[in-house]
Amino acid sequence: MAKIIVFTDLDAALLHQSTYSFEDAVPALKLVREKGILLI
């Protein structure tokens, strides 16, 4: 089975543009972890 790897940056992808909070990204980050997807 092929492994899935997601490459991302922080600015505006995982962090809010003005507050730099990652709160909105938490559900997606949890799902990525649950699915065993590598996040770089």
What is residue 13's predicted lDDT score, i.e. its pLDDT? 83
Q: How many helices and strands (H and E) does the chain possess?
A: 1, 2
What is residue 26's predicted lDDT score, i.e. its pLDDT? 95
Blockwise average pLDDT, block size 10, the chain, 40 residues: 88 87 94 94
Residue in the structure block whose two tokens are 């922080």: 10
What is residue 9's predicted lDDT score, i.e. its pLDDT? 86
State pTM to two decimals: 0.74
> What are the residue boundaries of the structural domains of the chain, listed by start?
5-39
Q: How many CB atoms lie within 10 A of CB 40?
A: 6
What is residue 37's predicted lDDT score, i.e. its pLDDT? 94
What is residue 11's predicted lDDT score, i.e. its pLDDT? 80
Give per-residue burial for 1-38: e unless 16+ CB within 10 Å, then b: eeeeeeeeeeeeebbeeeeeeeeebeeeeeebeeeeee
